[in-house]
């Protein structure tokens, strides 16, 4: 699934829409706001940018209904795929927002984790270590490296700080489809997996827990929570592998 320079240029524009939306949503996060309100803002901005929401209507597995929202809004123990709702956010909550869109036939995808008001030192460390793990992974996105180098970089950063790395969900290739090969796990060994080549675009997304990495999916069929109900954090960027440095498409 190699992309041309022209393809990557369009993906850059798609991901800048993603960046703008996530920046706006982060500014809105406060005690008392609902994730449904954030979802409405994301929809408004997506349509204004002449893009299409990537998650809205995404097919579920088996009898699970299609995803019903524009963003994934995952609070506290929810790792990923949280469905926005009308419950006001509380002081000390941790909110992960995942958002993607399709623009001119190509997808963009990114995620952030943000505090709601004042949070605990432990929660702040979880958020920062997860973000650091993503930066470590980005540095591995070079020609000749391997998917396992990305995976190992995330795992080393996370586990050296005493946190858990989710196994059940992984990063992915991205392009004309939201999810393309290869899978990009957040755990693994250096030198293993597919070798990276110029033109690959990867959505790398560390999902990290304060306790066990075991996951449980709730009755809605989407919301994935930590089995021990410990806090979780999630960061993601879309990165192009080039002949030179890695290019993070989802930030300026």
Instruction: Tell me the per-residue pLDDT of 29-81, one tens digit each, with 9 for 90 and over.
Output: 999 999 999 999 999 999 999 999 999 999 999 999 999 999 999 999 999 99
pLDDT band, very low/low/confident/very high, at 28 (cuts 50, 70, 90)? very high
Per the CB < 8 A criterion, the answer to whether 11 and 106 are in contact is yes
Quote the CA–CA distance of 132 and 235 in Å, as a whole number: 9
Q: Where are the alpha helices (DSSP H) in 29-144?
A: 35-48, 121-139
Q: Positive or negative CA dihedral for 144, 146, 147, 152?
A: negative
pLDDT band, very low/low/confident/very high, at 1 (cuts 50, 70, 90)? confident
Per the CB < 8 A criterion, the answer to whether 230 and 94 are in contact is no
Helix (H, G, I), strand (E, B) or coil at 35: helix
Q: How many CB atoms lie within 10 A of CB 184?
A: 24
pTM > 0.95: yes or no = yes
pLDDT digits (tens, 9 = 90+) for 206-220: 999 999 999 999 999
């Amino acid at each position: 699934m190699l992309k041309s320079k022209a393809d990557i240029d369009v993906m850059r524009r798609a991901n800048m829409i993603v960046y703008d939306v996530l920046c706006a949503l982060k500014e809105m996060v406060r005690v008392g706001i609902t994730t449904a309100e954030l979802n409405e803002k994301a929809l408004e901005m997506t349509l204004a940018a002449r893009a299409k929401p990537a998650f809205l209507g995404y097919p579920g597995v088996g009898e699970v209904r299609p995803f019903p929202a524009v963003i994934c809004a995952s609070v506290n123990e929810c790792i990923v795929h949280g469905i926005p709702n009308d419950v006001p956010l509380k002081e000390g909550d941790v909110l992960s927002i995942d958002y993607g869109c399709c623009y001119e036939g190509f997808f963009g995808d990114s995620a952030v984790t943000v505090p709601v008001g004042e949070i605990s030192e432990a929660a702040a460390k979880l958020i920062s270590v997860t973000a650091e793990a993503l930066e470590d992974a980005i540095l591995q996105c070079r020609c000749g490296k391997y998917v396992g180098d990305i995976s190992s970089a995330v795992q080393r950063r996370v586990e050296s700080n005493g946190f858990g790395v989710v196994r059940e969900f992984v990063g992915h290739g991205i392009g004309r489809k939201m999810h393309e090969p290869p899978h990009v796990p957040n755990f693994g060994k250096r030198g293993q997996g597919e070798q990276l080549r110029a033109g690959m675009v990867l959505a790398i997304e560390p999902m990290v827990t304060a306790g066990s990495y075991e996951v449980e999916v709730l009755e809605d069929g989407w919301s994935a929570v930590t089995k021990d109900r410990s806090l979780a954090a999630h960061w993601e960027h879309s990165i192009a592998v080039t002949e030179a440095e890695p290019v993070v498409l989802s930030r300026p």
